[in-house]
């Protein structure tokens, strides 16, 4: 045999060995994958068993076969709310009628419910009033902040990545008060604040990516520049500690139908720090915020305290549904909610990495805990079709066009088995749909 023939035989043998090794690896890999999946399912069960917040799940109306991961858009219904609303409608409205403004406490509901939200967002009583929509409260807060600032401050910084309505409202408020809008990325907000800055409107958690912005740091930087801090808490209140009082926030707004489970269209809230209440000048001075509403005088005189944030007659039905929904927070520490939220999102992302082939999805939610809210956002090709199929298969998340799959983790009723199942079904959907 020639040297050339011997070399060819060796190369052929090496190739055959490589093929056999690859075949062995392919035979072992599914076994390893199955073992990993079994381990994840086992860990999910163990984590759920040890979860102190897990007992709250039974307080919500949830389908046994559905994983509901859209509480960052609409919180699940607390199971006791329908009975409370039946009483409101049949007895308070149906029997007592007009007497319920006094006898059922309707008139004082905006402040009473505000005081129930206060500990969830780290505020002392008397600084939050409930009523109107988030958009209306953003308008009140931005205009009031502009009016509280010095006359030579003519700019309002706005989170450049903000939920669109905040930007629309802020721009209108700026026109009305003679200010100009300056869009700024939240990471650059502290550096952007200067001697012309009246106020800044910033989202605590980005609605699209789930990124948590530095509320303490940005607030301190704005104050150092002589400006006021206005925060949108829609994607943080009820999901993580906010610390409005501790961090010196000036004004804040938030919705109640996400992590606070108030129901579709439930009223929003406005926080006015006590130190600003005497000078708070609302652009919507309705009769409900008058110092003597039933005097019906032509001249407006603002009431004292958080009542200044009221405008017109409260939406009693949705407001009292919210009040009942807040019962699920009795005895719950927001710090415990935050700890479980981080554990859930960590575990979900681990399951996604284990189940979903590399390259099919990319997390745009920060890995760092101090930069993460309570949702995970995955960039995914053909995201609308993927989310539609997920929902058909019992995993309900939502979509932000063009390519973001959002999964909200609400710790009071979402468990670790939910997270594991969601990742597993996502992998199955991606396997069935073209890449």
Interatomic CA distance for residues 16 and 125, integer angstroms: 76
* Residue 318: strand, helix, or coil: helix
Q: How far from 3 is each of 6, 8, 10, 13, 16, CA to CA, in Å?
A: 5, 9, 11, 15, 20
Q: Which residue in 387, 382, 381 sits closest to 399, CA to CA?
A: 387
Tokens of 115: 């005081």
Tokens of 269: 């809230």
Residues 388, 392, 394: CA angle, nearest 5 degrees: 115
Return the higher-pLDDT residue of 130 and 9: 130
Contact 268, 254 (CB under 8 A): yes
Tell me what the pLDDT averaged over the chain comes to. 93
pLDDT of residue 435: 64
The string of pLDDT tens digits covering residues 74-106 is 999 999 999 999 999 999 999 999 999 999 999
Burial bucket for residue 283 (CB in 10 Å: 0-12, 13-18, 19+): middle
Indicate the pTM of the whole model: 0.91
Q: Find the mean pLDDT for residues 295-315.
A: 96
Contact 261, 73 (CB under 8 A): no
Q: Which residue in 364, 49, 69 sits closest to 206, CA to CA?
A: 364
The string of pLDDT tens digits covering residues 363-380 is 999 999 999 999 999 999
Is the predicted pLDDT of residue 12 greater than 80, yes or no? no
Query: Quick one: pLDDT band at residue 186, thresholds 50, 70, 90?
Result: very high
Q: Which residue in 312, 261, 245 sits closest to 72, CA to CA?
A: 261
The string of pLDDT tens digits covering residues 27-52 is 445 566 678 888 999 999 999 999 99
Query: Quick one: pLDDT band at residue 60, thresholds 50, 70, 90?
Result: very high
Percent of the chain whose predicted confidence (pLDDT) is above 70: 92
Tokens of 89: 């409608």
Q: Find the mean pLDDT for residues 291-303.
A: 95
Return the higher-pLDDT residue of 18 and 344: 344
Give every CB contact of residue 145 below 8 A, 6+ residues apart in sequence.
156, 198, 199, 228, 230, 250, 251
Is the predicted pLDDT of residue 184 greater than 50, yes or no? yes
Is the predicted pLDDT of residue 345 greater than 70, yes or no? yes
Question: Any catalytic annotation for residue 102?
Answer: no
Question: Any catalytic annotation for residue 370?
Answer: no
Question: Any catalytic annotation for residue 257?
Answer: yes
pLDDT of residue 21: 45
User: Choosing from 163, 207, 259, 416, which is the catalytic residue?
Assistant: 163
The string of pLDDT tens digits covering residues 213-257 is 999 999 999 999 999 999 999 999 999 999 999 999 999 999 999
List b or e across 137-166, with b for residues whose CB sees 16 or more CB atoms inside 10 angstroms: bbbbbbbbbbebbeeebbbbbbbebbbeeb
The string of pLDDT tens digits covering residues 386-402 is 999 999 999 999 999 99
pLDDT of residue 31: 62
pLDDT of residue 102: 98
Is the predicted pLDDT of residue 6 greater than 80, yes or no? no
Is the predicted pLDDT of residue 23 greater than 50, yes or no? no
User: Choosing from 57, 140, 212, 258, which is the catalytic residue?
Assistant: 258
DSSP state for residue 67 in the 8-state scheme: E
Query: Quick one: pLDDT band at residue 434, thresholds 50, 70, 90?
Result: confident
Question: Any catalytic annotation for residue 280?
Answer: no
Give every CB contact of residue 162 below 8 A, 6+ residues apart in sequence.
201, 202, 203, 232
Q: Find the mean pLDDT for residues 13-21.
A: 47
Question: Any catalytic annotation for residue 84?
Answer: no
Q: Find the mean pLDDT for residues 294-313.
A: 96
- Whether cis (ω within 30° of 0) applies to the bond prior to 175 is no
User: Choosing from 132, 159, 232, 315, which is the catalytic residue?
Assistant: 232
User: Choosing from 57, 308, 372, 406, which is the catalytic residue?
Assistant: 406
Query: Quick one: pLDDT band at residue 293, thresholds 50, 70, 90?
Result: very high
Contact 156, 133 (CB under 8 A): no
* Structural element, H or E, at residue 184: strand 180-184
Is the predicted pLDDT of residue 122 greater than 50, yes or no? yes
Q: Find the mean pLDDT for residues 111-125.
A: 98
Interatomic CA distance for residues 204 and 163, integer angstroms: 11
pLDDT of residue 33: 67
Interatomic CA distance for residues 196 and 184, integer angstroms: 15
Which position has the token pair 């610390």? Answer: 243
Report residue 62: phi and psi, to 5°: -130, 145
Interatomic CA distance for residues 412 and 58, integer angstroms: 9
Report residue 308: phi and psi, to 5°: -60, -20
Q: Note the Cα 396 to chain centre separation in Å.
A: 16
User: Largest alpha-carbon pair distance within the chain?
Assistant: 115
Q: Which residue in 41, 23, 34, 11 sits closest to 423, CA to CA?
A: 41
* Residue 115: strand, helix, or coil: helix
Report helix angle 3-50 to 334-355, nearest 10: 160
pLDDT of residue 36: 80
- DSSP codes joined into one string, 326-374: GGGGTT--HHHHHHHHHHHHHHHHHHHHHHSPTTSEEE-S-SSGGGB-S
- Other CB atoms within 10 Å distance of the CB of residue 3: 7
Pairing of strands 361-363, 375-380: antiparallel
């Amino acid at each position: 045999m020639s040297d050339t023939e011997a070399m060819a035989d060796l190369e052929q043998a090496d190739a055959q060995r490589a093929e056999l090794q690859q075949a062995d690896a392919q035979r072992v890999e599914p076994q390893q994958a199955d073992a990993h999946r079994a381990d994840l399912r086992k860990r999910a069960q163990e984590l759920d068993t040890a979860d102190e917040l897990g007992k709250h799940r039974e307080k919500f109306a949830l389908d046994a076969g559905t994983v509901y991961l859209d509480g960052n858009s609409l919180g699940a219904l607390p199971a006791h709310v329908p009975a409370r609303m039946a009483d409101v409608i049949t007895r308070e409205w149906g029997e007592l009628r007009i007497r319920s403004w006094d006898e059922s406490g309707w008139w004082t509901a905006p402040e009473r419910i505000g005081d129930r939200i206060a500990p969830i967002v780290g505020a002392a009583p008397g600084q939050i009033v409930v009523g109107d929509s988030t958009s209306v409260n953003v308008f009140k807060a931005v205009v009031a902040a502009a009016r509280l600032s010095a006359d030579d401050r003519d700019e309002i910084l706005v989170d450049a990545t903000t939920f669109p309505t905040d930007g629309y409202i802020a721009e209108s408020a700026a026109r009305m008060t003679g200010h100009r809008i300056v869009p700024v990325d939240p990471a650059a907000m502290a550096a952007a604040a200067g001697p012309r800055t009246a106020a800044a409107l910033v989202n605590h958690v980005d609605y699209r990516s789930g990124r948590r912005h530095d509320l303490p740091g940005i607030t301190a930087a704005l104050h150092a520049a002589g400006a006021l801090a206005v925060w949108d808490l829609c994607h943080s209140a009820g999901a993580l500690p906010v610390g409005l009082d501790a961090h010196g926030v000036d004004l804040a707004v938030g919705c109640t139908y996400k992590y606070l489970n108030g129901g579709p269209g439930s009223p929003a809230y406005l926080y006015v720090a006590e130190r600003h209440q005497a000078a708070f000048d609302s652009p919507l001075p309705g009769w409900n915020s008058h110092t003597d509403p039933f005097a019906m005088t032509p001249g407006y005189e603002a009431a004292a305290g958080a009542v200044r944030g009221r405008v017109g007659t409260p939406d009693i039905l949705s407001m009292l549904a919210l009040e009942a929904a807040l019962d699920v927070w009795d005895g719950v520490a927001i710090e415990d909610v935050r700890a479980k939220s981080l554990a859930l999102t960590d575990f979900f992302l681990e399951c996604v990495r284990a189940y979903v082939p590399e390259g099919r999805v990319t997390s745009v939610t920060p890995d760092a805990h101090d930069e993460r809210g309570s949702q995970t956002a995955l960039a995914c090709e053909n995201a609308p079709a993927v989310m539609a199929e997920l929902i058909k298969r019992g995993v309900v998340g939502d979509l932000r066009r063009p390519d973001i799959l959002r999964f909200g983790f609400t710790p009071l009723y979402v468990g670790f088995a939910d997270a594991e199942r969601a990742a597993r079904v996502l992998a199955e959907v991606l396997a069935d749909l073209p890449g």
